[in-house]
Amino acid sequence: MKSKAAVLYEIHEPLRVVNLEMDDPKEGEVRVRIGAAGICLSDHHIMEGTGSTLRPVVLGHEGAGTVEEVGLGVSSVKVGDRCILSFVTNCGHCSTCRSGSPQLCLTNRLTGGRQFDGTTRLTDGEGQSVFQLSKIGVFSERSVVPARACYPVVGDVPMDVLALIGCCVTTGVGAVINNPFMRPGATIAVFGAGGVGTNVVQGARLMNAAKVIAVDLNQEKLDFVKRFGATDLVNASEVDPVAAVKELSGGGVDFAFEVFGSGQTVAQCVEVLRPNGVAVVVGLAPEADRSSLEVTTLVRNQKILMGSYYGSASPHETFARILDFYQRGLIDVQGQITRRYPLEQVNEAYDDLIAGKPGRGVLIPNG
C-alpha cells in the first residue's frame, strides 16, 4: 500500500510531500484513511528543532479518520469506524498508566515515533525507514496506528471537528474542566489566544467563569477569541500584560493558563495570580527554554504552578465529554476552522499559522 505524506527530513527545511510504502497493520494496529488533520504549533517546534523526535518523520498529531483495515487481535474498532486519533496511546501497564494518567504513558514516550513493538511501518523511495509523529503521523493520506489510539465516534460529526478534538479542543477544554482546583465562577486569564487558547477560553466559559481575560500580542487573534467567550482582551504588544490583568481582575486572577509556550509567559502567569491562585502551563516551550520566577511569591501567597498535558486526564474520557458538549451546542468547534488546505500545501498552512492568521487551519489529505 502507498500513501502520500508530508515528511520532515531536516530541521529548518520545508516538509516534503512524498509517496511512501506502507506496511500492513500488525497485531493490535489498524490502518486509517485520514479525513482531516489540524495545523498545530507543536509540529512547528519539531520543524524548528526546538522539540525533538527521530527523523525522517511524518508530522501531524491532530487528526481523525476512518478505519480501513484491522490487524490481528483488534476488537476495540472495526472497518468503517470513524475515529478521533489520540496523539498519546496508552500501553496500559506502565506506572503512569496504572496510576490513572494514561496521557503520560511512559512506554508511549519511550517508543516515540515508532509503533509499540519498536519498529516502523513506512519506507521512502530510498528505502529509508520513516517515523510517525506520536505514532499517528496524520499529515498523510493513510496511517497505520495502534488500535488503542483510535476513539470510535457514533453519529455523523464532521471529520474536521473530530480532528480538532484530537488535540486543540481536548488540550484546551480539558486543561480547564479536568483541573483539580477548578471551580465555577472563577476569574481566569489565558496567555495565548491561538488554536489551543481558544479552547481554554471555551473551557472557562463552560465553568461559568466570572471573567475570561485573553492575552495575546496579536489583536486579530484577540478579537477572534471574543466570540468564544473572552470577556476582556489584553494586547501584550501595547500594554504590560501583568499590570493589565491585575487591574482587570481587581488585584489578581484565580487561574492563569499559559497557552503559548515560553519561560517568559510562564513567569507572567505566576505573577498575575491572586493569593492561592493556580498557574497552569499548557504550552510547550522550546525544550531549551527556562523560566525565571519570583520564588517567594509562591510561598507568601501560596500560589500553585502546574503543568497540563493533553487535557490533564485520559484523552479518550475527555473526548467523550467534549463530544457531548459539542452535540449539546455548548462548545463551538466548526467556528474555529478558518482555513482548509490540500496535503501539498502543508508548508503554506504553517506559514499562515506563523504569520498570525486567527483560527485553526486544517489539512484534508484525501481532498
Binding at 284: pick from ligand APR, Zn ion, none (beta carbon under 5-8 Å per type): ligand APR
Residue whose C-alpha is closest to residue 148's, from 32, 282, 42, 50 = 32
Which residues of the shown chain bind ligand APR in the complex (CB under 6 A)?
40-42, 45, 171, 191-197, 215-218, 221, 236, 259-261, 265, 282-284, 353, 356
- Contact in structure between 81 and 69 (CB atoms under 8 Å): no
Least distance in Å: CB of 98 to Zn ion? 8
Least distance in Å: CB of 261 to ligand APR? 3
Q: Please choose, out of 162-170, 242-250, 271-279, 294-302, the segment that lies near Zn ion by the rule CB under 5 A.
A: 162-170
Q: Is the peptide bond before 180 cis (omega within 30 degrees of 0)?
A: no
Looking at beta carbons, which pairs linking 293-298 to residues 24 or more positions away fall under 8 Å?
293/266, 293/267, 294/267, 294/270, 297/270, 297/271, 298/270
Binding at 56: pick from Zn ion, ligand APR, none (beta carbon under 5-8 Å per type): none
Binding at 265: pick from ligand APR, Zn ion, none (beta carbon under 5-8 Å per type): ligand APR
Alpha-carbon span 130 to 120, nearest angstrom:
7
Main-chain dihedrals φ then ψ at residue 254, nearest 5 degrees: -75, -35
Least distance in Å: CB of 266 to ligand APR? 11
Nearer to ligand APR, 79 or 306 (CB): 306
Collapsing DSSP to helix, strand or coil, 274 comes out as strand
Binding at 94: pick from Zn ion, ligand APR, none (beta carbon under 5-8 Å per type): Zn ion
Binder of Zn ion out of 50, 66, 76, 107 (CB under 5 A)? 107
Nearer to Zn ion, 91 or 145 (CB): 91
N- to C-terminal Cα distance for the chain? 19
Binding at 259: pick from ligand APR, Zn ion, none (beta carbon under 5-8 Å per type): ligand APR
Nearer to Zn ion, 78 or 98 (CB): 98
Place of cell 494514561: 102
- Binding of Zn ion at residue 94 (CB under 5 A)? yes
Least distance in Å: CB of 224 to ligand APR? 9
- Name the strand (E) or helix (H) holding 276: strand 273-281
Least distance in Å: CB of 61 to Zn ion? 6
Least distance in Å: CB of 294 to Zn ion? 30
Least distance in Å: CB of 99 to ligand APR? 23
- In angstroms, the Cα distances linking 3 to 11, 28, 136, 366 are 22, 21, 13, 10
Binder of Zn ion out of 40, 149, 285, 363 (CB under 5 A)? 40
**DSSP conformation class of 344:** G
Residue 311 Cα to chain centre, angstroms = 9
Q: Please choose, out of 4-12, 27-35, 99-107, 267-275, the segment that lies near Zn ion by the rule CB under 5 A.
A: 99-107
- Binding of Zn ion at residue 105 (CB under 5 A)? yes
- In angstroms, the Cα distances linking 195 to 78, 268, 271, 327 are 31, 20, 24, 20
Least distance in Å: CB of 98 to ligand APR? 26
Nearer to ligand APR, 77 or 105 (CB): 105
Binder of Zn ion out of 36, 46, 97, 285 (CB under 5 A)? 97
Alpha-carbon span 286 to 48, nearest angstrom:
9
Least distance in Å: CB of 326 to ligand APR? 19
3-state helix, strand, coil in the chain (%, to 5): 30, 25, 40
Binding at 91: pick from Zn ion, ligand APR, none (beta carbon under 5-8 Å per type): Zn ion
Q: Which amino acid is at 280?
A: V
Binding at 83: pick from ligand APR, Zn ion, none (beta carbon under 5-8 Å per type): none
- In angstroms, the Cα distances linking 271 to 16, 180, 257, 303 are 42, 21, 12, 9
Binding site for Zn ion (CB under 5 A): 40, 42, 90-91, 94, 97, 105, 107, 167
